[in-house]
Structures are given as C-alpha cells and as structure tokens.
Structure 1
C-alpha cells in the first residue's frame, strides 16, 4: 500500500509542476490544461484515500522538503482529507517555514476548498511577521476573502508592500478610495505603488489611471511592459501605430510585439511581417500576427526547427542557468514568404480601425469565447481585459483550478451583459 501511496505523491508532484507550467503555456488551452489537472487531482485523491498512513509517512514529511511542488501537493492532500491536526501542521510551516516552503504552502492554500481557512488566515494579518502578513493577505485575496475594512487600512499603510497587496485585491476599489486616495497613489514614489494603482484604477474606469498608464508606456519605468499591453488593448489605431514605432528599439521589441498581439489591428499585422526574419523575435512576431489574423502557423507557414546544437562541454556549461525554457520557446517560427503571400490575399477582409481576434471582430461574446479557446499564456491578459471592461463585474482567476474558472466564465456568459470594446479613453470617466 505504501508503494502505491508513494507513487501517488511522486506523480502528484510531477503533475503539479506540469499544471503550473500549463497555466502559462503557449501550447496548452483550457481543455488541455483541464485534462492535465484531472490527472493531478486523481493522484491527490489517492493520497487522501491513504488516510493516516499517507499523512504520517508521506505528507507531513513532504511539507519540509525543498521541492515546492511536493510541498504544495502534500499540503493540498493534507487539507482535503484530514482534520484539525493536519491543518495545524500545515499552518506551522506557513508560519515559520523557509521562504520556499511558505510560498508553496500558500499556493496550496489558495487552491484548497477547505472552509476553515478564512478565519485562521485572517488572524495572521495581524502577525508580527511582515512576510507572514503579506502571504496571508495574498492567499485571502486569491480566494476573494479579504475583509474590506482590512483592505482599506492597508491602502493607507506606510509600507509599500502592504499598499501594493491591497491594490491587487481581486475586487474593485471602493468609490471613496477612488475619489480620495487613488490620485495620490498614482504618483506615489514608493517602488511599485504607482504601477499597482494604475491597474486598480483602470478596473474602476478612471481617466486619471489611463493617463498615468500612457505616461509609463511612453516614458518608461517599472511596469512599462504591462502598460504597453494596456495601450494595445485599450488604445485606438493611432496608439497601435505608435507602438509599432517602438519596434525600432531593440530592447523594447519583445515586449512591444507581445503587446501588439492584443491590439487586433490589421495595420499591426502588416508590421509584424517585417520581424519574422529576425531570429530574436520571429516567434513573437508570428504569435502576434496569428492572434490578429487567425492564420495557424503550421505546415508551409512554419519553419522546420533546425538540428539541435552540439552539447556544450561540461567545463563551459553554466550550472546555475535556468534549464526550464520560457513559454515563448515553444512558439512556432513563421516562414515570412508564405505568410506574406497568404496575407496579400486575406488582407482585403480586414478593415482599418477594427479590432480582430483570430480573424473575427472582437466583441463581448468573442472575448468570452477566447477565454475558453486561446492559449493559456494569452488568457491572463484577456481575463484582465474582461475585468477592466466589465468594471470588475466579471473576474476570471486564470491561476485557479479549472472548476473555478469554468464557473466564473459561466457566470459571465449567464449575465448576458455587453460592454464597449472601444478605446478606454472614450469609456473612462474622470
């Protein structure tokens, strides 16, 4: 029996890692990620069935390893199948463990369905340990359980990290905060505060937040990558053309191409062609082009990968290098000539000034459908757009288990609301 339980934990550890990677994958969509998650949950259920034996011999020791996925899997299984003693052990690691252990336990707490977590996490918001306070707030925010009075207190906190955490809570800011405190936070000199205030302000539909977002996109500084994305999806055709101009700056080119893929403008598709021959950004240019036009980069439109380079001698190898490839590493490399030939024929079907997604006009229904079909890597931005355009009415937590995501998408569809997909400047108030 113990051999079977060990196999469950080993598989759950591996699949937890694979599932987290799927959430940012350029290849996986919601359906593929759901299948991966189902396998993960099956092994976690196997550990729950193991009862006391699994808890004492595998799961409790699993909390103290240095492998984050094993800690998360052990925590989740302990919370799912055991009572107060297991929760107490989990909280001991959450309270006093090393940073990697706390973070991994926190991730499992975010995903756990255990109802008893809210009160014990709330108590930790008043802990002497600042790191514990912030971690508890993060978990509660992910679960949508931060007390509103606590959030308001944190928004006025002297510590920047507390303010940033409160700004990033999943709910829109209270109206009195928007009218009173937000203007100060948008120009706050503390590191990271103004960037978080911009995103919170955009959800509330405030023009001052949009203007601040523009300034960061134009002038640079922390948070510029996200502001470039906001300018692409919330700007007009002129904004897209301005972003295209930034492609002449090599350091900005990857971030700008990522942003332009959300603009939906046919003029951007034209610009992407130019960079399909650049080995540094060809894949990103192809991703943006495909997102706008709907052309699948496969067959004649995809470059055949070259032979793997020879192994680097051990004495020259960087042993500290991150061996996990970034999500964009799996993107197809376009063949510019064939893509360009296709575009010459298809171009007539695209109107200037209209936003497109996969070749179709982007409206409310198309945005909701995209959250079910688009690669996981792109869904985080699309969910943010839904959240902003709905003024915080429809939040899809794209790092949650699929059951929650499907329920949040179903609620958004059932609401049958339609909101403007036009430029933010036309829809935002003062």
Structure 2
C-alpha cells in the first residue's frame, strides 16, 4: 500500500492534467484525504461533465449529501455539458444518477465544517476510515460506498477475501456477522 505522502504526490500529478481529471477525482474519493477538498471545490465550478464526479468525491470524503437542498445544484450551473464523443456519452450515463453540486453552497458548507476534518486522517462519508467505520459502510452504505469500504478492508487485511457486495443480501448479512 502506498504511503499517504506518496499517494498525494501521485494524485496531484493527475489533477494537473485535464485529460486525467476523472481518474484524479476517483482517486481523491478512494484516498479519502481532505487535502484534496479545495481542488474538488474548484472542479465543481468547472463547466464540464466532471462536476458531478467532483461532487461525488466530495461526498465520499465528507459525507455531505449533495442530493439534498441547498447543496444540490442544477445542470444549468454547468453550461457547456454537451457530449463530444461516444466515450463521453457513456461516461455521462455512468454519472447520470449523481446530483449536480451547488458549488457556492457546498463551499460554504465546507468552510463551516473543515475544522472537523484532520489532514492526516482518511475519511469515508465523513468518518475516519477505521475497521469499524468501514464495516459500518458495508452495512449501511450505497453500492458505491460499499465497494469502496470492501476494497479498503481487503487492502488492510491482505489474507481476507474481498467482500462481495454483489452477492445476495442474505449471504452478505452472514458475512458481515462473521467479520472481525
């Protein structure tokens, strides 16, 4: 597993290359590092289709529900979101369920709460990534968060199999009850 400082440097390389912004946004969510929040807030103001993914990455770290008013914005705030290629249309479809962030309101939300987040702690949905909070993410999270929690637990416990978040619910409940 990569050290936090190395992971930050590696991710920052992607944040500086517009063609890799989508990858950087996914990496920010996976790392759960509040260090990247200022960049995520800037990406929510960029009039391109990565705005939704920036909001989702912000939510993964902070737990802010951007589908609720006043944090939810509209597509009109991101004029210029027209697809240019088939690949972009497919990416847009994958993001179509994500809310449009209201950048100014989200920035104000962060300004009020940023002191609750520490620069040397990784977060998932506003909670420090601990084995307990990751197991809680498996129990209560949406599918995207559950995948993230499962991957994080698998990396932390190399001998353990990856939790199958696509398995039938009754089987997942059995596995959850057996987790250390």
TM-score (norm 1): 0.36
In 2, Cα distance between equivalents of 1:344 and 1:284: 20
How many residues matched?
166
In 2, Cα distance between equivalents of 1:373 and 1:268: 25
In 1, Cα distance between equivalents of 2:63 and 2:147: 19
The 3 A distance-change label for structure 1 pair 240 and 374 is farther
Deviation string for 1:27-83 (max 9, x for gaps)? xxxxxxxxxxxxxxxxxxxxxxxxxxxxxxxxxxxxxxxxxxxxxxxxxxxxxxxxx
In 2, Cα distance between equivalents of 1:379 and 1:265: 18
- Kindly indicate whether residue 73 of structure 2 is the aligned counterpart of residue 303 of structure 1: yes
Residue in 1 aligned with 2:10? 242
Query: Quick one: higher RCO (CA 8 Å, sep 6+), 1 or 2?
Result: 2
In 2, Cα distance between equivalents of 1:379 and 1:274: 27
- Contact map agreement 1:261 1:289 (CA 8 A) in 2: yes
Deviation string for 1:165-184 (max 9, x for gaps)? xxxxxxxxxxxxxxxxxxxx
- Contact map agreement 2:60 2:145 (CA 8 A) in 1: no
TM-score (norm 2): 0.82
Q: Greater helix share, 1 or 2?
A: 1
In 2, Cα distance between equivalents of 1:365 and 1:245: 32
In 1, Cα distance between equivalents of 2:62 and 2:16: 23
- Contact map agreement 2:74 2:102 (CA 8 A) in 1: no
- Contact map agreement 1:293 1:358 (CA 8 A) in 2: yes
| Aligned counterparts, 1:142-221, within 5 A | none
In 2, Cα distance between equivalents of 1:286 and 1:241: 22
- Contact map agreement 2:33 2:123 (CA 8 A) in 1: yes
Structure 2 spans left out of the alignment, 5+ residues: 77-88
The 3 A distance-change label for structure 1 pair 328 and 373 is farther
Counterpart among 168, 173, 176 of residue 406 in structure 1:
173
Q: Secondary structure at the match of 1:299?
A: coil
- Kindly indicate whether residue 137 of structure 2 is the aligned counterpart of residue 374 of structure 1: no
- The runs of at least 4 aligned residues of structure 1 exceeding 6 Å deviation read none
Counterpart among 53, 61, 70 of residue 292 in structure 1:
61
- Kindly indicate whether residue 167 of structure 2 is the aligned counterpart of residue 397 of structure 1: no
Structure 1 spans left out of the alignment, 5+ residues: 1-209, 211-233, 307-321, 416-430
The 3 A distance-change label for structure 1 pair 237 and 332 is farther
| Aligned counterparts, 1:204-283, within 5 A | 234-278=2-46, 279-283=48-52
User: By how many angstroms is 1:305 displaced?
Assistant: 4.5
CA RMSD of the aligned region, Å? 2.2
Residue in 1 aligned with 2:121? 354
- Contact map agreement 2:134 2:149 (CA 8 A) in 1: yes
